[in-house]
Structure 1
């Protein structure tokens, strides 16, 4: 056992990645993210439905867009759609091991990728294939104290993976890989078993910095070609949950095409003034209509281009959500500063109470501003049904882009089992819903809902149908197909 511990200790000391601990606002001081770098952030969010907005606000303080966002312990519900992020595809695990379970992954839509859910014992996992990398996004509940089944199942999947591909294991694994003098023999055994299994595949810790209290439970385990790639890991202070945010950047990755964030403005008044001052009299004497049109279009194009200004939007001013104001960002910064002070001085009760009160005030303010924005958005579109439903879908996160139909064939181990599973679901869902509703109703207490007055439907004719069809709005078809 001593030799094994020494081996693991030596593996931990290998600098597979440069790592630091800092605030969100200080990340740019430690790393410069280029457009060809692969960036990943992972966060234990402890309910995606309650803490998602706070997490998004933290992301808005970064001066770049992330390629992959991993959220763990999402406490997913089959009856609730997951929140969406503009310009990102979202994926979620479907197997729930307990009420806290669930992994959600957001991938930038401009990057070619493939995501599948794999079956791990005692853990939920989405495997992402992207830019020559296999990224395992994992949440393992701490309720499973024996990790042997988890490590064995993960080893099975790693064993069939190509040895030439870069491997990243990310998420809240709940195995402490930071050596502590006071750790129990059970924790030491789990750490050794986990690290030994991964080292067999050349996968080493990207960091061993604390992510929850004094333990390193949120991992970035890496197997990369160090001659072609360099890795940087940052542990970012946050108050979203008691887990810090983990950030990874891999450099020298190619073929990531990101659109520039620019704004284009046209000075209409100056353009009109330039057009009025332009001498167009020569066009009146032109006999060739093609030449006349070409000259006139050329003149207009020159004036428009001459009065058009394209500016790149500074990332520091880019806000992901429209309801996030600069005041909220300052509030978040003050809240995080108080939290840092409180953690550095844990026995200062006055500081602790001050932080708690300010945190509650800040969180309530975020919720209040978001609700006000959503109410105003619905009020403005109340007279436009098409826009109203579009806003409702955005607010309720029900406008998710559906996955390709072929992915349904991967729900079960074989296409045949998947088709039977889907068929069984739709053939029984009606009866299941009815069974859930009927027991809650007692026939003796069902109110009398008979209408006070009877009514009748009058027969229609071709002329009435024809009038109705002719009066339909021609631009309503997209809403009906949505």
Structure 2
């Protein structure tokens, strides 16, 4: 759970209300579940004798949470006085885990970083499943290209029936694909949530200089020149960070090249919106119509029946050009084309087009021509 509690709400410090809501929230969580509770709570737990702090820590301890952060997480100078507080918290409920936590004395904002590492003493079934599926079967494109270039397609020219021609054509590709699979290690899907690619070396230097000026001021808090120097550079640094972030996000959207799906994926990622699983969407909109399997089976059956109703029925599978005029209502005419015309049409198609139900890739069709 990630929580933010504002320090003031309409100029009132409503800690009692927050603790009441926190208890109600924890009551609704199963007691045996593993939970990480973290965030900027704005309750200074360094004030150990404050009644609100005691009540806050006792509430979390009652529900089995372990306090991980006990050091200063924010250090500022207010009215020429150095003020230290611990208002960023991490509490973890995981009885069978080893927990290491730390406060990183480096400020990208006005708070220090806080972190916690959890090591499970017993590997879970999910982790074992991930280990089993560590490899993925993919096509070796170089081998596919070589086999296509050495394959003889002349027998296809002797087939007049379009259905037989299509089946023979797809069988050639299917057999080639079956011989060209290789195992590739699955790259772990690392979340980009903490991967700040937009922070370049220049920003890192500015952040380090800002922290250095802050430490200089802390050593002499009554020196107004040092304070002014730090304040000006801090504002400059914050503006540079914001500008760089905006430029990076703008460029990431432009890199989508007007692909609407990629654009919306990027926007949802920037806004923190998570895509709902398909099962959840089905159950939420079709609640009361049965299980997910029953709903999908009904849809598939209805779809198949409707397609069969409108499907063109033709008893003559072998379409011969000599008699198509007599059966124009049931047969279709295949206009004779040259080899160069077919090749030109295939080469105009996009290589990035996803394969259809036959799994034949357009890039392989172009390599075969």
Smaller-chain TM-score bracket: 0.3 to 0.5
Higher helix share: 2
Q: Which has the larger radius of gyration?
A: 2
Give the TM-score taking structure 1 as reference length. 0.38
TM-score normalised to structure 2 length: 0.47
Q: Which has the larger strand fraction? A: 1
